[in-house]
Structure 1
Amino acid sequence: MKTYNVRIWSIRKRNSKSAPYQLRWLVNGAEFQEPFTTKTLADARRSQLVTATKNGEPFDVATGVPVSELREATSPTWYEHARAYVLMKWPRAAAKHRASIGESLAIAVPTLVSTRRGAPSQATLRKALYQWAFRAVRNADGVLVSRHEMEEAPAEIRSALAWLSANSRKVNELENPDLLRPTLDALSLLLNGTPAAENTVRRKVMVLSNFLRYTVDEKGLLPFNPLLRLDWTTPEADGEIDFRYVPDPALARSLIAAVRQQGARGEHLEAFFGSIYYAATRPSEAAALKEWDFVLPPDTPEAAEIWGEVLVEESRPEVGRGWTNDGTPYEKRGLKHRTRKAYRSVPIPPVLVRMVRAHIAAYGTAPDGRIFWGARGGRVSSTEYCNVWADARAIVLSDEEARTPLAEVPRLLRSAGVSLWIKAGADPVEVARRAGHSVAVLFRFYARILRGQQAVANQQIDSALKST
């Protein structure tokens, strides 16, 4: 509890040989005192307290000292504070977010040190923090603790953490915001010193900002957020897709056909890539699709050209085993930026209806109903489907095209699918709904294509105006 109800008395001399001068003051009615050997020392301390009151600084009721003094005396180090923050966030954070916090703080914390003398390499420090100090496990009593407290870490990891513990700055030292500049520089660079992507920097700085806000608002360890007092701007992220490298419909179909040419695994993954393109699912959403998510028309000649529907309601993004609650290399979660029970209905064209029906007939389903799985069971891994995709590119693209980012990653199939919908003249609101975007995000990512469609809309409106 803090108070401004402070009264400081004059120094008095008492009958004591060891400390004859006594300073007394009242804080919210409670008396505090400090003895001194000389009057000069007592006067200096009294001046400190008087200055604090003149500066409008509150005093702590329990200890009787100015709040700034209490912060300095009780301030943890940034290493200790970051570990506590990770344990606080862990129970309610998704696995991906846990990993993002660990990654960002593993870069930031080694910059907040008092010296570099005897420091381990940056790679070793980041590994020690990311894989050990900032990963949580439960002890025998079910309490979350840092991993290195429960498991025996390699010698270089133990040494790195010991060095960091000994040299980490205290939290209150960041009342000098300039000490944060090396942290922001580190978040802006890759380990090899090259600039990180704008979106990556923004994500890491956001983690740091949340951490500092927690430090100020919830823990009261700093009087202000030092990030807000620095002349430093987060890089602008250009969210618009580079459509030079998004496959057109003919290329998308050729690549999916090339997937099928690659033996048993390729045949199994054909409908996986088909779902990404024709239904614009994210790869993590395609990996979670189950048989009952599909509503298919009758398997009759009369219904051969009827559209079906897929209800997308789950995503299984990949993340390291150390970040999930059950030790799996992925987590089960709802749709991106949606509530856990939300779903979206996506109409699917006859070509995907046939592809999915043939896939289920040939392979059946996993025990939990999923229609796609990895070579060893479980979730189909990104390593597996990216390898198949790379081989498909090698089959379809020329040597010159293969050296460019054209169709470089499977998720560009999703961009190709959404682009096709826009170019076909579908309402942007409906396109956004099917893709699982907000309209604002759709316009940011696909602005160039949408601007191109404005000319078509203008012509249609112009024709309508002239006919009336």
Structure 2
Amino acid sequence: MNTTYDVKFWEIQHRVGQKTSSYIVRWTVGRFGKSKSFRTKGLATAFLSDLRQAAKQGEAFDLATGLPVSLLAANSSEPSFLEFAQSFILRRWRTLAARTRETDAYAMLSLIPALVTDLPGRPDDEALRAVLREHALLPEKRRSALSPELDAAMRWLQKASLPISKLGDAATIRMALDAISVTFAGKSAGANTVRRKRAVLHHLLELAVEQKVFSSNPLDGVKWSAPKAATTVDPRTVVNPDQARQLLDAVAKVGRKRGARLKALFACVYYAALRPEEVAALRETNLTLPESGWGLIVLEGARPQATKRWSDSGETHEDRALKHRAKKDTREIPIPPALVAILREHIEKFGTAKDGRLFRTAKEGTYSSSAYSYVWQEARKLALTPSQVASALAARPYDMRHAAVSLWLNAGVPAPEVAKRAGHSVDVLLRVYAKCMDGQHDHINNKINRALG
């Protein structure tokens, strides 16, 4: 692109023909005269004002088109990266869960502000992310009114965003990969975060291939390795049965009422290996709780937590299908007498919500992850030694699920049955819990010895 800063403007001309009249904007770029006609004086005045403002801000003007760099993308038939990203997010909106929508948008908060031309007057990064989060990446009916600051940020992004075709250049792809490799504070991002954001970028570029923008995915042509992410459970996080019981007893002692109401929730995570979002959806009708012996949970769905702006209902929790399963699919988990007794006691003490849910706040809502995580950390202080509290042992409520699955595998329960109860595929189960399958070396060695004769 050949550009210059040598620009001059002339007064708007009004031309009257036999049937129509027009208003002509005239200017020169270098030694080349340029003009553009408009039907109304207001449109012509606005266009001339944009040109003057660009020159005042020190923008270069393209010799071929006569336009400032900031207006080139807006006047091209090709969508900008911002426009394509908006289209990508909104076309997937209807079919995705709220948390997946949030993951898509979170990747765009890194990518869109990075894939821009260097125009004067760039807003700060927080303003750019705010206008994307609260306006540009939401369906039109959900968008909030923009403050003057965010309106300016939106207009700057619309002018500065690179054409989508620029991602066909290896240098631009590397800019994108650099952007997803750091946090908003500029530090190295976690491996899982980088891998998730790269996956979103890959899906976006696959859409561009589908729409004939590219003949193949530009990411495939760049040699770049994602950081290694831990895919196995750390055995140091796994509690033994005695420690699990001590933690559950300690939960009931946290606070005046909240801990007591949450003991059964954590017990479901440990004894039935339920995910927290599955426990949140648990209703009395899902339970078979005999007076003695084993009981049964028949899971029908989950209530994952997400930010309100990304959910269909505008609430933080929504009813969804079970993870990786069809809409009306269910999962059966036999539960030991210890959990049966805890659930029977919970229902007797606290009853259920109007819709039958077992675990709800005083206002019939669903406990947030921050609320039950706080209770969990307080329980760890009561049940564990100071060195254990400082360690990774049961550091998160989810680690109780890891403890359950590890216990089942080490007890000799066949992997397909463990996978069925935990809601995993067998290959994922064995890969994720490979390091937690301890205590079987002698048994395996004896089998090999017998095979060798």
TM, length-normalised to structure 1: 0.77
Give the structure 2 partner of residue 254 of structure 1.
246
Give the structure 2 partner of residue 397 of structure 1.
384
Report whether the alignment pairs 1:245 with 2:248.
no
Give the structure 2 partner of residue 128 of structure 1.
131
For the residues of structure 1 that align with 2:275 and 2:369, how far apart are their CA atoms?
A: 12
Give the structure 1 partner of residue 97 of structure 2.
94
Q: Quick check: 1:128–1:161 contact (8 Å CA) kept in 2? A: yes
For the residues of structure 2 that align with 1:363 and 1:260, how far apart are their CA atoms?
A: 13
Any idea what the Cα deviations from partners look like across 1:233-270, whole Å, max 9, x if unmatched?
Answer: 22232211111122222211111111001231111111
**How far is 1:153 from its partner?**
2.2
**How far is 1:460 from its partner?**
5.4
Amino acid at match of 1:280: A
State which of 71, 77, 82 in structure 2 corresponds to 1:79.
82
Q: Flag structure 1 segments of 5+ consecutive residues without an equivalent.
A: 1-71, 139-146
Give the 3-state SS of the residue equivalent to 1:367 in structure 2.
Answer: coil
Quickly say closer, same or farther: Cα 1:117–1:246, change in 2 above 3 A. Answer: farther
For the residues of structure 2 that align with 1:429 and 1:95, how far apart are their CA atoms?
A: 30
Any idea what the Cα deviations from partners look like across 1:350-383, whole Å, max 9, x if unmatched?
Answer: 0100000111111111111111012432112111
Quickly say closer, same or farther: Cα 1:212–1:200, change in 2 above 3 A. Answer: same
**How far is 1:462 from its partner?**
5.0
For the residues of structure 2 that align with 1:407 and 1:95, how far apart are their CA atoms?
A: 28
Give aligned pairs, total. 378
Quickly say closer, same or farther: Cα 1:115–1:456, change in 2 above 3 A. Answer: same
Give the 3-state SS of the residue equivalent to 2:437 in structure 1.
Answer: helix
Give the structure 2 partner of residue 235 of structure 1.
227
> Aligned ranges for residues 208-223 of structure 1 at < 5 Å?
208-217=201-210, 219-223=211-215
Quickly say closer, same or farther: Cα 1:270–1:114, change in 2 above 3 A. Answer: same
Give the structure 2 partner of residue 109 of structure 1.
112
For the residues of structure 2 that align with 1:136 and 1:453, how far apart are their CA atoms?
A: 54
Give the structure 1 partner of residue 146 of structure 2.
153
Report whether the alignment pairs 1:373 with 2:337.
no
Quickly say closer, same or farther: Cα 1:213–1:465, change in 2 above 3 A. Answer: closer
For the residues of structure 1 that align with 2:140 and 2:393, how far apart are their CA atoms?
A: 42
For the residues of structure 2 that align with 1:284 and 1:162, how far apart are their CA atoms?
A: 39
Amino acid at match of 1:132: H
Any idea what the Cα deviations from partners look like across 1:1-28, whole Å, max 9, x if unmatched?
Answer: xxxxxxxxxxxxxxxxxxxxxxxxxxxx
Report whether the alignment pairs 1:316 with 2:303.
yes
Question: Which consecutive segments of 4 or more residues in structure 1 shift more than 4 A?
Answer: 460-466
Q: In percent, how many aligned pairs have the same letter?
A: 39
**How far is 1:105 from its partner?**
1.2
For the residues of structure 1 that align with 2:296 and 2:396, how far apart are their CA atoms?
A: 26
For the residues of structure 2 that align with 1:452 and 1:161, how far apart are their CA atoms?
A: 59
Report whether the alignment pairs 1:344 with 2:331.
yes
For the residues of structure 1 that align with 2:241 and 2:181, how far apart are their CA atoms?
A: 37
For the residues of structure 1 that align with 2:175 and 2:206, how far apart are their CA atoms?
A: 19
For the residues of structure 2 that align with 1:196 and 1:268, how far apart are their CA atoms?
A: 37
Q: Quick check: 1:102–1:135 contact (8 Å CA) kept in 2? A: no
What's the C-alpha RMSD, in Å, of the aligned pairs?
Answer: 1.9
> Aligned ranges for residues 30-49 of structure 1 at < 5 Å?
none
For the residues of structure 1 that align with 2:381 and 2:436, how far apart are their CA atoms?
A: 28
State which of 394, 400, 425 in structure 1 corresponds to 2:412.
425
TM, length-normalised to structure 2: 0.79
For the residues of structure 2 that align with 1:452 and 1:189, how far apart are their CA atoms?
A: 40
Report whether the alignment pairs 1:434 with 2:421.
yes
For the residues of structure 2 that align with 1:191 and 1:77, how far apart are their CA atoms?
A: 23
Quickly say closer, same or farther: Cα 1:432–1:88, change in 2 above 3 A. Answer: same
Amino acid at match of 1:134: L
Give the structure 1 partner of residue 343 of structure 2.
356
**How far is 1:286 from its partner?**
0.6
Report whether the alignment pairs 1:287 with 2:280.
yes
Report whether the alignment pairs 1:187 with 2:174.
no
**How far is 1:137 from its partner?**
4.5
Give the structure 2 partner of residue 272 of structure 1.
265
Q: Flag structure 2 segments of 5+ consecutive residues without an equivalent.
A: 1-74
Task: Name which of structure 1's ranges 163-172 and 397-406 shifts more when overlaid on structure 2.
Answer: 397-406
**How far is 1:74 from its partner?**
2.1
Any idea what the Cα deviations from partners look like across 1:182-207, whole Å, max 9, x if unmatched?
Answer: 21112122112222222221111111
Amino acid at match of 1:225: N
Amino acid at match of 1:246: V
